[in-house]
Structure 1
């Protein structure tokens, strides 16, 4: 066995288990203990100041500097009491991860800890090295972070973290949070207008989000021996073990004790930070798990998901583990997603996607359901682009994940209701007739949450009182796809309001006008609905007949961001201007190119410096053995056959790696980023990755286990 691999496996066997210790047996004793929330504000701020801050949180009004100074004083006192030594503006640049620059509270000139309102409200981190997509040049370093009061301040690693937006000197959004907040306002405005048809008391509608986070866990020592995992986040080589996930015995099984202690530990830290984690379980693939929180306001839920990932990574180090968020770290096994459960909640406490036994509420429910269907149908390519990444390309369309074809699953009950509404909606209503009974609207049962099966193959599924956007990748910032979803639904809700008002102005009674428009929308968006197996080849053929897109690569999917339809859509709702949208297109293409480039380099390095030398050394040993057998007059045909097979794969490996390197050189000369990304997809990734992997994985089966340099799947995945 190769020395490094052997030492790593020995370290795993000798590693002691770390136990998680909670501050109290009752979670309520420490939940949110590291958060400066409304309770802490109310206790530490003067009543007028607290009212100003709570109003700003609720209504998005601006906080004046005197109020900010009062908050800063209270926050500083609270943070120092908790052992914090520094503060930072915690933001979400377009790198895909969070960013922070720590400043000390201690002022050496005065010899005191200081923290002013100006430091709370705004900072100026160096923005030159963050991706801007041409919004700014490298020598223009100025960028601003500004406090987002709607997301609570917290302490993490002895640092006071202030959630902020991040914008350029000229005001363009350089982050994920700013457009998410804008899109939340857009859907609030549009949804309230529809709610007013049914309840005049509704003044605000908040998007709600619950993020189910999937991930893999392996031992840190084994991770360190795999350059591909360290450099690319996934294994570019590795043959499937004899026993993988085919028995389905890992799914919802007993959690391995070492992983369970890790889960308990990161949950404790998450709960201190006010992250309402509530569910943990084994996923389908060995070594794969899931954590899920309760639902929250979409902005807070997004912040909490990113913070949770950070917590999970840091706590894993303590346990000698490595958590993997890549969408497809192991070939042949299930990939990991981030299932975004999205709904709309009114300030009167109504979930607009929750059916009931009330005809009026169900008509309102159908307005939002049908509007969402039409939004997804009109903007399926935008939703596909919102989840596009180099990592997710390996997962989408695989036989455990939603396909790259965007479709909506509703279940048989709702499908039947919409079909009946479409066919019989525009009927003459006689006096005394129950229109809702005739339309089938009142047939929506109270147990809608449980009356239809879930469809795991659907990228966008209705699951009782919410939509589950299952196609989002596990490493993604959920703000990206959720911004797109908010905007497209807001746009159709605006259209719905306009069309209903037109019917009313034409003399139709309000309820009839609503039904007439819904019937039209149901018919227009019918092609997006699919109840069958999204993994099947039949669905690909059927989707093509329906005219639905099947954009299989990120390089192809991102083109839609430059379309007039998308540009006008984002501009219309003041979410992203043309400059900001073009910047995101360029940044994401650059990211894709760099990811594929890194993976190709890792492949070349491992093949040339690890795999081929190992295979040749083993081949030479076989030749010696074969000659020995021949000299003794013994049968040496089996040895010769193995030598020939090893030689065949070595030659294929050399040839394909060499050709891939040459292809990469040619593509690197291309200056246009759109063309370059597409060429990296087709001329590098599609042309060579699978061929190179095939040769290496075959060699893994042929070469003596004692020679093989890379830790194998069977050694990484079955952690106890």
Structure 2
């Protein structure tokens, strides 16, 4: 960052935020807009026109010539269509205008995005509508600046075609039920409860010149071939290591981009694998955090190119080393500033906290398959279960302090104490003592309590966090609803809460696991406990439309059965298309790059054998090399033929679920069979002959 730039001066400078609105809007208009945001009532046309004009003037001052409704379709990415502010005047000139109607409503093609059958090609109409809760922002690019207006996206028949609409609905659902609970505990001053999220984002950076020589990275986002480098992450020297100057320069530029957009990018460091890094923001309300995480991913990729780098957001770009996720840190915050997941100094006495905790345990246990599905994508199938990623089995880590409180409740009927953190003492006079936390942390847990929040570690690095938070909000809204129903009918709320906490903890204690989630013993223990182990996206997708899921989402007005079935179909189609792209890329690389390179190398070896033996010397080593190459080359060709056949068969299946199953069971298996001999050949063939950069080249040349 330029030394003359102050963070406080640039932060949110490209955001039409509350401070900017207060400054630029007439007081009455500003108040009416704020009332609409707070009460959820329709915005008056006159107010919309004034807001739109002020927004336009602000954007033009920032260099913008166009505006766009910025939305989040079911692709998992964002979408935008740019319209200029110009309006013809009739005398051959133009004026710059932006109306309230243009601000509030847009009309993209509803059939060109994944819709799961909600929209056919001949049913093209879709609408975008301004999300008042998320501020507009300026997207800067060398080609010019664009005013981006966050919107929802829905069909002509009213179904949600995006991820933001159900997210906002889920926030309303948990607000409604959480308010009932806190009011029962006497917090009548609370008028709103929001979920707060901080999404830590992991990513890889590779040199662009090397990236352009790998078709698998270009088309699939991950390496489909690649033998392990001589050195990986086994020395633990990259994690939190000194950040290289080239990477630090990238991070610096990335921070400036994000700060201008109001993203509170705070923490940055090297991650476990070589070439892997992480960025973590400060918390924001869930819809804002979701928007921000999309902006983070977009900025990461865009800024990388300026440094002749490419940002890889795939969950497993390199086999055998750490994969990338995004830890979704989730909590409940009141409009009076209270974190409902803060246990306080004496958790055993905090009955409101314990009730909410019990409700969360019940929600995660009863809807574990649905929570697992919310983190399912093709890349995560390769990541979950090893190398710093949580296992596919959903469990909850609470730590010693809370586990002890809950055990007291279950065993004695009453919790009378809470474990406290001890004073640190490492025996150094120059290091001051401090109060240590009351419990350790667990990096293998998919859903871990970390002081005043739950960290859902299962979400993949390329995924939108909307899906996970839609599910989290909705399942907890449901168990809070059940709690409120029981407590509202009770004569003694405190005693009823005590009994309910004990009952729910006893019934759902199986979901609590504080041990090593990577161990084989835990897999066996999870089976004994009856916890599901859903290892892949195809198996997970069906839980979207289980009777329990349909009832849950419809009860809280988050997703209809039609919308759920559409998302199930999109999940199967997404999986099949992703694997199809990977398989076709493998076929192309094997036929056009690897096999020709091996043939060329073996020809050289054969010539060497003839020459050495003609000179009367021993060529046994060359013959061993030749035999190994010929063996693996034959295995490659057999696997290639099988993969081509399996791809054709899978692609021919008509039903979307059948296609996904075939790609998982037949195509993925054939891909693994093709990769094994190819990776073995990489370790034999002359490096000068190998057709693309190796793992060592990619991970250690940034």
TM range (shorter): over 0.9
- Secondary structure at the residue paired with 2:229? coil
The TM-score normalised by the length of structure 2 is 0.95
SS of the residue aligned with 2:379? helix
Answer whether contact 1:38 1:54 (CA < 8 A) is retained. no
Q: Secondary structure of the equivalent of 1:144?
A: strand
Q: Tell me the CA shift for residue 394 of structure 1.
A: 0.6
Corresponding residue number in structure 2 for 1:428: none
Q: 1:165 to 1:349 in 2, by over 3 A?
A: same
Distance 1:411 1:440, change over 3 A: same
CA distances 1:251-280 after superposition (whole Å, capped 9, x unpaired)? 000001001000000110110111110000
The alpha carbon displacement at 1:632 in A equals: 1.9
Larger deviation, residues 91-100 vs 348-357: 348-357
Q: 1:449–1:465: 8 Å Cα contact kept in structure 2?
A: no
Change (3 A) 1:445 1:366: farther
- The equivalent residue for 1:21 is 2
Post-superposition CA distance 1:215-253 (Å, at most 9, x none) = 000111111110000000000011111111000000000
* C-alpha separation in 2, matches of 1:112 and 1:282: 50
Aligned to 2:465: 478
Structure 1 residues 448 and 394: alpha-carbon distance in aligned structure 2, compared to 1, 3 A threshold: farther
Match of 1:289 among 271, 277, 285: 277
Structure 1 equivalent of residue 564 of structure 2: 581
Q: What secondary structure, in the 3-state scheme, does the structure 2 residue paired with 1:647 have?
A: helix
Instruction: Give the conservation status (yes or no) of the 8 Å contact 1:145–1:165.
Output: yes
Q: Equivalent residue for 2:427?
A: none
Structure 1 residue corresponding to 2:168, chosen from 160, 181, 192: 181
Shifted more, 364-373 versus 591-600: the winner is 364-373
Number of the residue aligned with 2:339? 351
CA spacing shift, 1:234–1:710, aligned 2, 3 Å? same
Question: Does 1:41 find its partner at 2:21?
Answer: yes
Q: Spell out the pairing of 1:372-521 with structure 2 (5 A cutoff).
A: 372-425=360-413, 438-440=414-416, 450-502=437-489, 504-505=490-491, 509-521=492-504
Question: What secondary structure is seen at the aligned counterpart in 2 of 1:159?
Answer: strand
SS at match of 1:473: coil
Q: Deviations over 1:345-398 (max 9, x none)?
A: 011111001011367971111111111111000000001111111011110123
Find the residue that maps to 1:196 and give its secondary structure. Answer: helix
Misfit runs of 4+, over 3 Å:
357-361, 441-449
2:53 equivalent in structure 1:
73
1:136 Cα deviation from its structure 2 partner = 1.4
Give 1:294 deviation, angstroms.
0.4
Structure 2: how far apart are the matches of 1:358 and 1:688? 56
CA 1:607–1:360: 2 relative to 1, 3 Å:
closer
Q: Distance in 2 between matches of 1:77 and 1:361?
A: 54
CA displacement at 1:154 relative to structure 2: 0.4
In 2, are the aligned partners of 1:356 and 1:445 still within 8 Å (CA)?
no
How far apart in 2 are the matches of 1:449 and 1:60? 44
**Which of 110, 125, 148 is matched with 1:161 structurally?**
148
Q: Paired residue for 2:190?
A: 202
Q: Alignment partner for residue 158 of structure 2, among 156, 171, 195?
A: 171
SS at match of 1:211: strand
Query: Residues of 1 paired with 2:436 and 2:196: CA distance?
Result: 17
Task: Report the equivalent of 1:8.
Answer: none
Q: Tell me if the contact between 1:558 and 1:585 (Cα under 8 Å) persists in the aligned partners.
A: yes
Q: Tell me, which stretches of 5 or more residues in structure 1 are unaligned? A: 1-19, 426-437
Matched residue of 1:608: which SS?
Answer: helix
In the aligned structure 1, how far is the partner of 2:201 from the partner of 2:39? 30
In structure 2, list runs of 5 or more residues that go unmatched: 423-433
Q: Partners in 2 of 1:499 and 1:392 — Cα distance? A: 39
Paired position in structure 2 for 1:654: 637
- Give the Cα–Cα distance (whole angstroms) in 1 for the partners of residues 162 and 440 of structure 2: 38
CA contact (8 A) 2:68 2:82 kept: yes
Report if aligned partners of 1:216, 1:325 keep a CA contact under 8 Å in 2. Answer: yes
Deviation at 1:167, TM superposition (A): 0.4
CA drift of 1:63 comes to: 1.2
- How far apart, in 2, do the equivalents of 1:140 and 1:296 lie? 37
Q: Distance between the aligned counterparts of 1:345 and 1:629, measured in 2?
A: 78
Match of 1:14 in 2: none
C-alpha distance in 1 between matches for 2:485 and 2:436: 31
Which stretch of the first structure deviates more once superposed, 410-419 or 465-474? 410-419
Tell me, yes or no, if the aligned pair for 1:244 and 1:285 is still in contact at 8 Å: yes
1:126 shift after superposition: 1.6
Alignment of 1:76-475 (within 5 A): 76-109=56-89, 111-157=94-140, 158-198=145-185, 199-357=187-345, 362-425=350-413, 438-440=414-416, 450-475=437-462
Query: Structure 1 CA distance, aligned partners of 2:459 and 2:286?
Result: 15
How far did 1:26 drift?
A: 2.1
Q: Which residue of 2 is the match for residue 17 of structure 1? A: none
Matched residue SS, 2:278: strand
Equivalent-residue separation in structure 2 for 1:105 and 1:494 (angstroms)? 47
Query: Secondary structure of 2:64's match?
Result: coil
Distance 1:521 1:468 in 2: 21
Structure 2 counterpart SS, 1:281 = strand
Partner of 2:689 in structure 1? 707
Task: Determine if the alignment matches structure 1 residue 631 to structure 2 residue 614.
Answer: yes
Shift of 1:553: 1.1
Distance 2:435 2:373 in 1: 31
Secondary structure (helix, strand or coil) at the match of 1:667 reads helix
In the aligned structure 1, how far is the partner of 2:417 from the partner of 2:663? 51
Secondary structure in structure 2 of the residue aligned to 1:160: strand
Q: Output the CA distance in 1 between the equivalents of 2:420 and 2:405.
A: 8
Tell me the matched-pair count: 683
CA contact (8 A) 2:646 2:670 kept: no
Quickly say closer, same or farther: Cα 1:129–1:693, change in 2 above 3 A. Answer: same
What SS is found at the alignment partner of 1:132?
A: coil
CA distance in 2, matches of 1:619, 1:147: 63
Q: Could you state the TM-score of these two structures normalised by the residue count of structure 1?
A: 0.93
Q: Quick one: distance in 1 between partners of 2:26 and 2:473?
A: 36
State yes or no: 1:568 paired with 2:551: yes
State the Cα deviation string for residues 82-138 of structure 1 (Å, max 9, x = none). Answer: 111000000000011000000001123352101000000001112221111111111
1:191–1:216 Cα change, 3 Å: same
Could you report, residue by residue, the CA deviation over 1:278-329 in whole angstroms, capped at 9, with x for unpaired residues?
A: 0000000000000010001110010011011111111111111100100000
Distance 2:99 2:323 in 1: 46
3-state SS in 1 of match to 2:166: helix
Q: Distance in 1 between matches of 2:44 and 2:357?
A: 40
Using a 3 Å threshold, how does the CA distance of structure 1 residues 124 and 243 change in structure 2: closer, same or farther? Answer: same
Structure 1 residue 442: Cα displacement: 5.6
Alignment partner, residue 606 of structure 1: 589
Aligned to 1:54: 34
DSSP 3-state at the match of 2:350: helix
